[in-house]
Chain A
Amino acid sequence: MAGGSRQSAPVSDPFPDPCPGALLEAFGIEKSFPGVRVLDGVSLDVRAGEVHVLFGENGAGKSTLVNIILGNYAPEGGTVRFDGKILPAGSPRAARDAGISVVFQELSLIPTLSACANIFLGREKRHSALLDEGTMSREAAAMFARLGIALDPQAPVAGLSRAEQQMVEIAKALQNDPRLLILDEPTTAFTDVETQRLFAIVADLKRLGVGIIYITHRMAEIQAIGDRISILRDGRRIATKLVSETDEDELIQLMTGRETLNVYPTIAFKPADEAIALDGASAASGRFQNVSISVRAGEIVGIAGLVGCGKSAVGRSLFGEERLAAGQVTLFGKPLRSPSPQSMLDAGVVYLPPDRRRQGLVLNRSVRENATLSCLNLRSFAFGQWLRKKSEDDAVQRVLNRLNLTPPLLDRNVSAYSGGNQQKVVFARAFLRETKVLIVDEPTVGVDVGARLEFYGILKQLCETGAAILLISSDLPEILHLTHRTYVLAFGRQTAEFQREEISEAAILSSFFAAGPKEGGIKTGAAA
């Protein structure tokens, strides 16, 4: 069923014939936001039983298109047909009733409610006026079984891991038997095991004739489950192709409009003295025990591990943000008694947190203010208390031009930008002050290839000019290609350390489970 009759569309043809057999057919969609033309006559069709991948850089218009299909936005032009009938523009209700479901990248669960209550939120089963808890709980449990996860439906969502929350989100989307399911980067919180489960579910849904729109930046996922792929760039659909007839190089070229580049730079390895270290440390929160790591100037050290293994807490403790019950942080050979973010920044340690919305950015403030927030105590940005706005402006403009923030409007709130562009604003901080030690946690989640390239360029430049870099990441290829040395954490314990020549996917993956229960059937196809 997948694949379809039509051969891949030529790149030059912006409006191929609408497909009469399509489940969903968006035609000539136009949408602008103040000052920005986001979608410029985009058409897209999704057939029953196919996985249609939406691919494009941050800000290319993917999310906006999805929101128009969902009825969250009303387009200025164009129509959305579902099953041949036109959906009323801007009506989320109509889209939902037609059977369109979505799993967004940002979670939409209510943390204090149980998993079950979240799944049935707004669609509660009732015995006349009373809630039918029994039925809902049973159905939720059945759904979890189908998804292959062991979760108590009555457990409050706040106590679940990010990956489990994402599973609840998926369960919620599947609860009303959708005919079209939209998945917006659903695997960012997932390990390979969970990703494989999700793929099995997707395969299941395909057999049932459900159409799927899948948004991702990960090449391996596109190859694994995509049938067709549409590439968006600057609000236009550049091409729609059969996944089997395209490859990574072509996709990147279509997405960026540039010649293919090698994503991972080669970073010279000239280690000097130890810059920062953690010595026999245990977190007061219990998130990790007896961890010893050290990073020298001029090297990139990785920390790999599954979601929830404690690697983020290690990063935080090096920045004085996680209290230690035992052990200590050493900076340039000096043990620190009570490190704090403030003192670490003053000493030249920059930390880029994993969750940009919660930990990184002040969403209702401007790009400019967010970029320089951690740098205002520098001479170049303030005389004492008095801000030097001109030099602040120039510096931020320079850095964000280089990072390709689109659109480059410094007075706009960061909340008006897409996730990848927001991350660029976070990246800017590593550029705006002298960085001797850089600690980055999941820096490229949801970030497009262009911004990745820029960021890896930052890492290379910093490292080769003598900075010590600690790269905490769940993205295995990132660890494999960039780090000179890598530690692996599992269940809060340090399980391995690999020197440069020893770093391999198989070696790292096998130490992910070293200290805990082995999980079976792991495929080593991490991601491109």
Chain B
Amino acid sequence: MTPLQQISRPAQPFALRRVADRMLSRLKTTGIISALVLVVFAFFAVANSRFTNSNNLINILNQSSYLMIVSLGQGLVLISGGFDLAVAALLGLTSVVSATLMIALAANGVDFPLAIAISVAGGLSVGLILGMVNGVAVAYLNVRSFIVTLGIAGIAAGAGYQISGGAPVTGLPENFIAVFGTPDLRSISTSVYIAVLFAVALHLTMTRTRAGRYIYAVGGNPVAARLSGINVRRHIVLVFMTSGLLASLAGILLSARVSTGDTNLGGNFVLQSITAGVLGGISLRGGEGTLFGAALGALFIAVLSNGMNLENISSYYQMIILGGLLVLAVLAEQLRLLISGRR
């Protein structure tokens, strides 16, 4: 029809290379973190006989689930090209809000299922609303996510202390603890199932849906994304709301586990969730990495801290090691860019 057909070359010889190329890119995304998890696991399994005890393995799963849930949200924000420094504070505020609500409702004679439902909804809306504030400020006011979420973290922590009077909120109903926590420390907690559920659902969202594809594009190049007809702002808001929601969810689950509402419940989760994401292969420059990797990153951190606890390494050293890990992971990414950037 046109002279163009004359210069089309057959593409047949590339079939094998295409398969190899795809496998290579798969391996690059989650290969390293999978290997890391196995290595630390094997190390502690050899170093300490208590490590592979079934109670301890369940304990690791339970411990990792909260960080995993938070890391999925953090990973989503990192992929979209931002940071969420508010996750720990949102988790803490949710914990205090839902615990306070629950106790107040119970004291006023509201039935347990209803009281729990209301207070869980109240807690989750904390994350949704403040996550939306984060997202709107980043997407519509062009403020850097680093600053917005830092500010929101301050507000959330202050509000948490104000509501709780600075002390842990105790006396949570047994039913709540039974449903959202675990009856005893030897069985798998509800949070594990929820973490796995969200990991699978969000991973599928990121790899199999338009929204996921768009979030990668927004993180990789927002200008190109907008020119491709993508509503960049909407996806940024969506991402921060999801991160807030997941932080709140982890807050409720963790409150049930420790039977307390506590502003400080989020502890070190900002550092840990970013580390989990970066270790899992998510680029801090956005647009790269997988949520499956972030979940594995969270598992890695849990295995590592559990093993270090068993070895009686002080929590201060553990913080140093975790911080060092983040720096190392970022350095490794730079190294990778340097090498692959040469092509």
Please report A residues at the B interface, Cβ cutoff 8 Å: 33-35, 72-73, 256, 258, 261-262, 265, 319, 321, 341-342, 344-346, 351, 353, 358-366, 369, 373-374, 376-377, 382, 385-387, 389, 397, 401-402, 404, 407-412, 415-416, 429, 450, 453-454, 457, 460-461
Pick the contact of A408: B11, B20, B208, B343 (CB < 8 A). Answer: B11
Q: Give the shortest distance, in Å, between B205 (CB) and chain A (any CB).
A: 8
Which of chain B's residues has its CB closest to A366's CB? B25
The residues in B between 5 and 19 inclusive whose CB is less than 8 angstroms from any CB of A are 6-9, 11, 14, 17-18
Enumerate chain A residues within 8 angstroms of B285, measured Cβ to Cβ.
364
Q: Known: A341-B228, A342-B229, A373-B217. Contact between A385 and B7, CB under 8 A? A: no
The answer to whether B3 and A457 have CB atoms under 8 Å apart is yes
Q: Known: A365-B287, A402-B8. Contact between A386 and B208, CB under 8 A? A: yes
The answer to whether B21 and A404 have CB atoms under 8 Å apart is no
Pick the contact of B8: A385, A397, A404 (CB < 8 A). Answer: A404
Q: Can you show 12 pairs from A to B with CB atoms below 8 A apart?
A: A34-B343, A35-B20, A261-B3, A341-B227, A364-B287, A373-B225, A376-B213, A387-B209, A401-B8, A401-B11, A409-B18, A410-B18
Which of chain B's residues has its CB closest to A449's CB? B7
The answer to whether A457 and B4 have CB atoms under 8 Å apart is yes
The answer to whether B7 and A258 have CB atoms under 8 Å apart is yes
Give the complex CA separation of A341 and B229 in angstroms.
5
Q: Give the shortest distance, in Å, between B82 (CB) and chain A (any CB).
A: 16
User: Is B185 interfacial (CB-CB < 8 Å)?
Assistant: no
Q: B253-297: contact bitstring with A at CB < 8 Å (1 yes, 0 no)?
A: 000000000000000000000000000000101011000000000
Which of chain A's residues has its CB closest to B286's CB? A364
User: Is B223 interfacial (CB-CB < 8 Å)?
Assistant: yes
The answer to whether A35 and B3 have CB atoms under 8 Å apart is no
Enumerate chain B residues within 8 angstroms of A362, measured Cβ to Cβ.
216-217, 220-221, 224-225, 287
Chain A to chain B: the 8 pairs with minimum beta-carbon distance, closest first: A362-B220, A374-B228, A345-B229, A457-B4, A373-B228, A385-B209, A342-B229, A362-B221
Which of chain A's residues has its CB closest to B288's CB? A364
Pick the contact of B216: A365, A416, A453, A457 (CB < 8 A). Answer: A365
Pick the contact of B3: A262, A341, A342, A361 (CB < 8 A). Answer: A262
Give the complex CA separation of A366 and B25 in angstroms.
10
Give the complex CA separation of A409 and B1 in angstroms.
27
Please report B residues at the A interface, Cβ cutoff 8 Å: 1-4, 6-9, 11, 14, 17-18, 20-22, 24-25, 208-211, 213-214, 216-217, 220-221, 223-231, 283, 285, 287-288, 340-343
Give the complex CA separation of A73 and B339 in angstroms.
10
Give the complex CA separation of A387 and B342 in angstroms.
32
Q: Give the shortest distance, in Å, between A151 (CB) and chain B (any CB).
A: 27
Q: Known: A258-B6, A351-B227, A453-B3. Contact between A382 and B20, CB under 8 A? A: no
How many residue pairs link A and B with beta carbons under 8 A? The number is 133
Enumerate chain A residues within 8 angstroms of B343, measured Cβ to Cβ.
33-34, 416
Give the complex CA separation of A353 and B24 in angstroms.
31
Which of chain B's residues has its CB closest to A34's CB? B24
Give the complex CA separation of A389 and B216 in angstroms.
16
Which of A33, A342, A359, A373 has most chain B Cβ within 10 Å? A373
Q: Known: A261-B6, A265-B3, A351-B227. Contact between A386 and B220, CB under 8 A? A: no
The answer to whether B20 and A385 have CB atoms under 8 Å apart is no
The answer to whether B217 and A359 have CB atoms under 8 Å apart is no
The answer to whether A407 and B2 have CB atoms under 8 Å apart is no
The answer to whether A453 and B7 have CB atoms under 8 Å apart is yes
Q: Known: A376-B210, A382-B210, A409-B18. Contact between A358 and B220, CB under 8 A? A: no
Which of chain A's residues has its CB closest to B5's CB? A402
- Add 17 more A-B contacts to A402-B4, A409-B21 (CB < 8 A): A35-B20, A261-B6, A342-B231, A345-B229, A358-B224, A359-B224, A362-B216, A362-B225, A373-B213, A373-B217, A377-B229, A389-B208, A407-B17, A411-B25, A415-B341, A453-B7, A460-B2
Enumerate chain B residues within 8 angstroms of A385, measured Cβ to Cβ.
209-211
The answer to whether A387 and B7 have CB atoms under 8 Å apart is no
Which of B213, B230, B283, B285 has most chain A Cβ within 10 Å? B213
Enumerate chain A residues within 8 angstroms of B210, measured Cβ to Cβ.
376-377, 382, 385, 387
Pick the contact of B342: A73, A258, A359, A454 (CB < 8 A). Answer: A73
The answer to whether B230 and A342 have CB atoms under 8 Å apart is yes
Q: Give the shortest distance, in Å, between A491 (CB) and chain B (any CB).
A: 26
The answer to whether B7 and A374 have CB atoms under 8 Å apart is no
Would you call the interface of chain B mostly helix, strand, loop, or mixed? Answer: helix
Q: Known: A261-B3, A416-B343. Contact between A387 and B208, CB under 8 A? A: yes
Q: Known: A351-B227, A402-B8. Contact between A364 and B209, CB under 8 A? A: no
Q: Give the shortest distance, in Å, between B20 (CB) and chain A (any CB).
A: 7
The answer to whether B229 and A374 have CB atoms under 8 Å apart is yes
Which of B283, B341, B343 has most chain A Cβ within 10 Å? B343
The answer to whether A453 and B4 have CB atoms under 8 Å apart is yes
Enumerate chain A residues within 8 angstroms of B288, measured Cβ to Cβ.
364-365
Pick the contact of B227: A35, A346, A360 (CB < 8 A). Answer: A360
Give the complex CA separation of A407 and B221 in angstroms.
24
Enumerate chain B residues within 8 angstroms of A416, measured Cβ to Cβ.
340, 343
Which of chain A's residues has its CB closest to B22's CB? A411
Give the complex CA separation of A266 and B108 in angstroms.
84
Enumerate chain A residues within 8 angstroms of B217, measured Cβ to Cβ.
362, 365, 369, 373
Give the complex CA separation of A364 and B285 in angstroms.
10
Enumerate chain B residues within 8 angstroms of A359, measured Cβ to Cβ.
223-224, 227
Enumerate chain B residues within 8 angstroms of A366, measured Cβ to Cβ.
25
Q: Give the shortest distance, in Å, between B291 (CB) and chain A (any CB).
A: 16
Which of chain A's residues has its CB closest to B343's CB? A33
Enumerate chain A residues within 8 angstroms of B21, measured Cβ to Cβ.
35, 409, 411-412
Q: Give the shortest distance, in Å, between A319 (CB) and chain B (any CB).
A: 7
Enumerate chain B residues within 8 angstroms of A321, measured Cβ to Cβ.
226-227
Q: Give the shortest distance, in Å, between A102 (CB) and chain B (any CB).
A: 15
The answer to whether B283 and A364 have CB atoms under 8 Å apart is yes
Enumerate chain A residues within 8 angstroms of B223, measured Cβ to Cβ.
358-359
Enumerate chain B residues within 8 angstroms of A35, measured Cβ to Cβ.
17, 20-21
Give the complex CA separation of A411 and B27 in angstroms.
13
Enumerate chain B residues within 8 angstroms of A374, measured Cβ to Cβ.
227-229
Pick the contact of B7: A73, A256, A342, A460 (CB < 8 A). Answer: A256
The answer to whether A411 and B208 have CB atoms under 8 Å apart is no
The answer to whether B8 and A353 have CB atoms under 8 Å apart is no
Enumerate chain A residues within 8 angstroms of B224, measured Cβ to Cβ.
353, 358-362, 373
The answer to whether A412 and B7 have CB atoms under 8 Å apart is no
Q: Known: A35-B17, A265-B3, A364-B283. Contact between A369 and B213, CB under 8 A? A: yes
Q: Give the shortest distance, in Å, between B15 (CB) and chain A (any CB).
A: 10
Which of A256, A261, A345, A374 has most chain B Cβ within 10 Å? A374
Which of chain A's residues has its CB closest to B17's CB? A35
Give the complex CA separation of A5 and B223 in angstroms.
53
Enumerate chain B residues within 8 angstroms of A377, measured Cβ to Cβ.
210, 229
Give the complex CA separation of A33 and B341 in angstroms.
12
The answer to whether B25 and A412 have CB atoms under 8 Å apart is yes
The answer to whether B11 and A411 have CB atoms under 8 Å apart is no
Q: Give the shortest distance, in Å, between A323 (CB) and chain B (any CB).
A: 14
Q: Known: A33-B343, A341-B228, A385-B210. Contact between A363 and B220, CB under 8 A? A: yes
Enumerate chain B residues within 8 angstroms of A386, measured Cβ to Cβ.
208-209
Give the complex CA separation of A520 and B66 in angstroms.
72
Q: Give the shortest distance, in Å, between B208 (CB) and chain A (any CB).
A: 5
Which of chain B's residues has its CB closest to A406's CB? B9
Enumerate chain A residues within 8 angstroms of B213, measured Cβ to Cβ.
369, 373, 376, 387
Q: Give the shortest distance, in Å, between A294 (CB) and chain B (any CB).
A: 23
Give the complex CA separation of A369 and B342 in angstroms.
22
Q: Give the shortest distance, in Å, between A342 (CB) and chain B (any CB).
A: 4
Enumerate chain A residues within 8 angstroms of B226, measured Cβ to Cβ.
321, 341
Which of chain B's residues has its CB closest to A372's CB? B213
